Amino acid sequence: MAKIVVALGGNALGKSPEEQLNLVKHTATSLIGLVAAGHKVVISHGNGPQVGAINLGMNFAAEHDQTAAFPFPECGAMSQGYIGYHLQQSLHNELRHRGIDKDVASVVTQVEVDETDPAFQHPTKPVGAFYSEEDAHRIEMEKGYTFAEDAGRGWRQVVPSPLPKAIVELKSINDLIENDNLVIAGGGGGVPVVTTATGLKGVPAVIDKDRSSSLLAANIAADQLIILTAVDDVYVNYGKPDQKSLRKLSSQDAKRYIDEGQFAPGSMLPKIEACLDFVASGAGRTALITSLDHLDDALAGNVGTLITD
């Protein structure tokens, strides 16, 4: 029996409540397979599309009611509750369907960051919907947001993405795991907070969920970190005629590929870096990158990229 942290991408969770609920039913079926095999599982998830939509909707309402704009950290906390609710419900239903007696709990998770992190001066994390370049520039002028082109798919708002330093609710998460609960934690990378003279304070940013998942996995002494993304394997020369999948990847080779610029900064690079941090955090720890649809095949060693120290 292993202790496993599974990181789900926010883009895999849908663009509306209806779509998300339908998608997480499929997600639950795949994830409960890990539980049925006897593993202790902690689930984290992204929230890029969801937190952006919440922020946009709350600010639209505030403008029409002539009230203050809604703070971004609170939008992050709301996305944890919204996504956690759907995951809890679907996981609960799948557990009962399989006759497994286990409770599911979501933890609204704060993650401490450094207020001097240079990321606060250089927003890079895409959130929310895609816009045309014209609409993006208009919203920038109207609201003061920062937009950037996102991988040829359109323009999205970008916010700072500082590195995670500590998980505030770590003891509560560990207590739930030790009492045999299926835990959802670190949603959206966690609500970013800084320590002030009067205590913790939320800051407007989005922490990379793979980085936070790696930190969480290391802190709870997990055996494996699984990052579920849109592709079955990690590739070198991705999208080129000589594209090659990597089924096994050592830390040494991964660092060499990073130096060669093989992994895109906005997509695969942070996943690889998060995996490297985790496997370096303890002896025998491994990381797996694959797609949700082929998780069972990846666990059987048929697809996916396994990263080792």
If 0-12 CB within 10 Å is exposed, 13-18 middle and 19+ buried, where does residue 151 land?
exposed
DSSP 308: E
Assess contact for 6 and 34: CB atoms under 8 A: yes
Show the tokens assigned to 7.
């990181």
Sheet hosting strand 155-159, strand order edge to edge = 125-131, 155-159, 147-149
Q: Is 162 helix (H, G, I), strand (E, B) or coil?
A: coil
* Residue in the structure block whose two tokens are 């890990």: 34
Q: Is 238 helix (H, G, I), strand (E, B) or coil?
A: coil
Please identify which of the residues 11, 93, 174, 219 carries the catalytic annotation.
11
Show the tokens assigned to 131.
């816009």
5: left (phi over 0), alpha (psi -120 to 50) or beta: beta
Is 165 in the active site? no
Parallel, antiparallel, or unpaired for β 182-184 and 248-250? unpaired
CA 297/CA 288 separation, integer angstroms: 12
Please identify which of the residues 125, 128, 181, 187 carries the catalytic annotation.
125
The alpha helices in 7-164, defined as continuous H runs, are 17-36, 48-65, 72-97, 133-143
CA 99 from centroid of its chain's CA atoms? 29
Candidates 231, 226, 219; CA nearest to 306 is 226
Is 271 in the active site? yes
Assess contact for 228 and 288: CB atoms under 8 A: no
Radius of gyration for the alpha carbons in the chain, expressed in angstroms and rounded: 19
Please identify which of the residues 9, 10, 48, 304 carries the catalytic annotation.
10
* Residue in the structure block whose two tokens are 């396994």: 306
Please identify which of the residues 48, 84, 209, 304 carries the catalytic annotation.
209
Is 15 in the active site? no
What positions carry a catalytic annotation? 10-11, 125, 209, 271
